């Protein structure tokens, strides 16, 4: 680990010299590339410097133990205990910091929600999830933009696509991909029997044009009249857009905007994200030798999390964590479980690394 930390520190110092070179400053693309690299290394270098300083102070304290008087030795002993605790903490933090980074972590997110098993109740749960992630974005001061919505007219959501813009959005939301199950008594159930329904969530990183090779000739563009509640204009013009990527069969629709041009632009964003996700899965399959799909069929048996209303609990089945604050969770207070998932992921990757 320390060989790698020394290498990162040397690389950081080398880049620091380069970014102050007038020739490189005049070459803005190269300068910005170096600045970005330094920004990624800076937390590691800063923590490593703190670690080295604590090690030096520990050496000094040990020397005082040997040459000081009784009072000085007592003070040195107390300082050693404190420094040893600090050093242990720094080592644990550095182990996490040098783990290989997910290149998508700092990207914006395209989040898709689809009602699965459970009919209208599943659609109502889809609406709950859409609100939950919207509130979570607000708590983190991220911006949200609804790109497509297929609702039921009575408050349910059959399908929703939302863009979430914010630093590190993907790093925290990527763990939400999978099937979510709800257990509750539907409003339409007169006997008070608990029903089980499901909805699926897919979290895709928003990608740049350079990351996805998309031939416009491979995409069929259809325009049609938007449906649903949208005011006087939305249902009277051919503003809705459907994209069909013929090589893969992927279909994307967008009808949220009154402008056909804006809907087309949004639809292409979603299509690029889905194509990027397909490529990432393909690479994962080659590495692991088996298919790793983010989202199953939406069947209640394929689940990552259960929301149980009678007991007021949320249980994440991947890490065996349960919290008894369902109302707050559905209001976007999901950090406790997200933090648990991140910690579990880091521990697993440290073991593999």
Domain boundary, last residue among 97, 132, 159: 97
pLDDT band at 295 (very low <50, low <70, confident <90, very high): very low
**Are residues 203 and 141 part of one domain?**
yes
**Are residues 156 and 212 part of one domain?**
yes
- CATH code, domain carrying 68: 1.20.58
What is the reported pLDDT for 227? 67
3-state secondary structure the chain: CHHHHHHHHHHHHHHHHHCCCHHHHHCHHHHHHHHHHHHHHHHHHHHHHHHHHHHHHHHHHHHHHHHCCHHHHHHHHHHHHHHHHHHHHHHHHHHHHCCCCCCCCCCCEEEEEEECCCHHHHHHHHHHHHHHHHHHHHHCCCEEEEEEEEECCCCCEEEEEEEEECCCHHHHHHHHCEEEEEEECCCCCCCCCCEEEEEEEEEEECCCHHHCCCCHHHEEEEEECCCCCCHHHHCCCCCEEEEEECCCCEEEEECCCCCHHHHHHHHHHHHHHHHHHHHHHHHHHHHHCCCCCCCCCCCCCCCCEEEECCCCEEEECCCCEEECCHHHHHCCCCHHHHHHHHHHHHHHHHHHC
What is the reported pLDDT for 211? 62
What is the reported pLDDT for 178? 92
**Are residues 329 and 184 part of one domain?**
yes
For 188-245, how does the pLDDT look when each residue is reduced to its tens digit (9 = 90+)? 666 678 889 999 999 988 887 556 778 888 889 888 877 655 444 445 567 888 888 9
Q: Is residue 104 a part of any domain in this protein?
A: no
Domain boundary, last residue among 42, 74, 97: 97
Q: Is residue 75 a part of any domain in this protein?
A: yes
**Are residues 125 and 88 part of one domain?**
no
- Range of 50's domain? 2-97
**Are residues 196 and 226 part of one domain?**
yes
What is the reported pLDDT for 114? 93
**Are residues 212 and 176 part of one domain?**
yes
The label of the residue with tokens 């620091």 reads 16
**Are residues 317 and 244 part of one domain?**
yes
Query: Does residue 320 surpass a pLDDT of 50?
Result: yes
For 37-69, how does the pLDDT look when each residue is reduced to its tens digit (9 = 90+)? 888 889 889 999 999 999 999 998 888 888 767
Number of domains present in the structure of the chain:
2
**Are residues 84 and 48 part of one domain?**
yes
**Are residues 156 and 67 part of one domain?**
no
Q: Is residue 103 a part of any domain in this protein?
A: no
For 237-259, how does the pLDDT look when each residue is reduced to its tens digit (9 = 90+)? 678 888 889 888 888 888 877 78
Report the percent of the chain where pLDDT is more than 90: 39
Mean per-residue pLDDT over the chain, rounded: 84
- Within 10 Å of residue 104's Cβ, how many Cβ atoms? 20
Residue 161 in contact with residue 151, Cβ under 8 Å? no
Domain boundary, last residue among 75, 97, 119: 97
Nearest Cα residue to 350 out of 87, 92, 42, 172: 92
Q: Which distant-in-sequence residues (6+ apart) come within 8 Å of 275 by Cβ?
A: 212, 214, 245, 248, 250
CA 146 – CA 157 distance, rounded (Å): 13
């Amino acid at each position: 680990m320390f060989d790698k930390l020394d290498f990162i520190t040397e690389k950081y110092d080398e880049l620091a010299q380069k970014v102050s070179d007038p020739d490189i400053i005049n070459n803005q693309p190269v300068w910005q590339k170096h600045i970005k690299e330094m920004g990624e290394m800076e937390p590691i270098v800063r923590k490593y410097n703190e670690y080295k300083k604590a090690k030096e102070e520990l050496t000094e304290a040990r020397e005082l133990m040997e040459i000081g008087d009784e009072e000085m030795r007592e003070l040195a002993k107390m300082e050693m205990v404190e420094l040893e605790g600090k050093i242990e903490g720094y080592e644990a933090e550095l182990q996490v910091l040098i783990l290989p980074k997910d290149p998508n972590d700092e990207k914006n997110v395209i989040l898709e929600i689809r009602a699965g098993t459970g009919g209208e109740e599943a659609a109502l749960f889809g609406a709950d999830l859409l609100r939950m992630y919207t509130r979570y974005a607000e708590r983190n001061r991220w911006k949200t933009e609804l790109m497509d919505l297929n609702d039921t007219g009575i408050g349910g959501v059959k399908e929703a696509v939302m863009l979430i813009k914010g630093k590190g959005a993907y790093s925290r939301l990527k763990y939400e991909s999978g099937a979510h199950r709800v257990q509750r008594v539907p409003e339409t159930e007169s006997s008070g029997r608990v029903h089980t329904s499901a909805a699926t969530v897919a979290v895709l990183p928003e990608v740049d044009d350079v990351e996805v090779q998309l031939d416009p000739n491979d995409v069929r563009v259809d325009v049609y009249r938007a449906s649903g509640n949208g005011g006087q204009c939305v249902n009277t013009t051919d503003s809705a857009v459907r994209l069909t990527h013929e090589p893969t069969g992927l279909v994307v629709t967008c009808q949220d905007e009154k402008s056909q041009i804006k809907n087309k632009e949004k639809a292409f964003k979603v299509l690029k994200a889905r194509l990027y996700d397909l490529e990432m899965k393909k690479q994962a399959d080659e590495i692991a030798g088996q298919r790793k799909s983010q989202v199953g069929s939406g069947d209640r048996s394929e689940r990552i999390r259960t929301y149980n209303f009678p007991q007021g609990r949320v249980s994440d089945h991947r890490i065996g964590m349960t919290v008894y604050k369902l109302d707050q969770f559905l209001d976007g207070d999901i950090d406790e479980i997200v933090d648990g998932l991140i910690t579990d992921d880091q521990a697993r990757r440290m073991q593999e690394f």
